[in-house]
A and B are shown apart, each in its own frame.
Chain A
């Protein structure tokens, strides 16, 4: 099971600014280990965010995103007390969902 995300959501002038830190190796599949063997690709392929269960963002990611990615986005019309959930799926089929309340 993957480590939890850190999600902060702050209300700002009728919107909410959401900051997400994900814990992931984001291995590109291009690197070799000490023995010269290729380290297989292992990275997030899909990120989805929802406001009170309604999808507001979906992204397709690949090996170009850095290790332990940071994602920031603004949700229109979100207010304090609303629930923001973020889900990622990686190419091994592992997934993780975390939720935060807009403050």
Chain B
């Protein structure tokens, strides 16, 4: 179905070469997926979300009729460039380690007067959650090409890493499953999808360094929260909640492991 759509959309573009149909025999499935992604990357619809996010950042909204331009994402109020590759980090004003999405919730509440609890309870892709998609797309894009460098100097940050590691290896649920079941050795895959080893640094633009991402299969932009939500779903685990400490701990673990890797977010996934 997707290939059909792709072929048609492709046929309209005169520069498009339909290599998909004339597949070279040598390439492995991983190469084929990489090739498919490279062809799509030029027209990544995440760009549409980025544009929306930038506008949302600057628009006065909410009961307090304020923009998010005074939001402190870790490098001082209003600084957006370079913040994404240093999150999650500890914030003194909330006394919590926060990832981008939980931090945005704090800003939306304190600056704009929106109800963070209500937004956290909203289904993905609806109302304010839709706005968050744009914001995470734009903010992560402002750090594109920079290297991950999460701070680990605060005791809370170290604790979050340790907790995240334990959660990553914690087995449970009806399938006796952990994140580590899929993501702790090289060369594993689900169907045709190669799985990165997230217990170490999987490299530039792989694993943690590829999210947020636009998912072609659902036509949606997924932040790390939604990515983790889907991981929990696949484990048949209950989701610990949007912006919960559990999700932030896991992000801290993966983010610290990715130290030095280049972020390509928002990327494009099948």
- Would you give the shortest CB distance from B178 to chain A, in whole angstroms? 31
Please name all residues of chain B whose beta carbon is closer than 8 Å to the beta carbon of A59 when the two chains form the complex: 12
Please name all residues of chain A whose beta carbon is closer than 8 Å to the beta carbon of B13 when the two chains form the complex: 71-73
Verify if B34 is at the interface (C-beta below 8 Å from A).
no
Interface size on B, residues (CB 8 A): 21
Verify if A38 is at the interface (C-beta below 8 Å from B).
no
Interface locus among B42-50, B63-71, B179-187: B42-50
Interface string of A49-73 (1 = CB under 8 A from B): 0000000000100001111111111
Contact in complex: B9, A69 (CB < 8 Å): yes
Bound-state Cα–Cα, A23 to B13, Å: 18
Among A4, A6, A67, the residue within 8 A (CB) of B219 is A67
Top 3 nearest A-B pairs (CB, nearest first) are A70-B43, A67-B219, A72-B13
- Would you give the shortest CB distance from B11 to chain A, in whole angstroms? 10
Verify if A19 is at the interface (C-beta below 8 Å from B).
yes
Among A3, A17, A65, A66, the residue within 8 A (CB) of B15 is A17
Given A21-B43, A71-B9, A71-B12, residue A66 in contact with residue B51 (CB < 8 A) = no
- Would you give the shortest CB distance from B18 to chain A, in whole angstroms? 13
Contact in complex: B43, A19 (CB < 8 Å): yes
Contact in complex: A23, B48 (CB < 8 Å): yes
Interface residues of A in 60-101 (CB under 8 A from B): 64-74
Given A3-B52, A23-B48, residue A68 in contact with residue B219 (CB < 8 A) = yes
Interface residues of B in 34-58 (CB under 8 A from A): 40, 42-43, 45, 47-48, 51-52
Bound-state Cα–Cα, A66 to B15, Å: 19
Please name all residues of chain B whose beta carbon is closer than 8 Å to the beta carbon of A21 when the two chains form the complex: 43, 45, 47-48
A–B pairs, 12, beta carbons within 8 Å: A3-B48, A4-B51, A6-B51, A21-B45, A21-B47, A23-B45, A65-B5, A66-B9, A70-B40, A72-B13, A72-B15, A73-B12
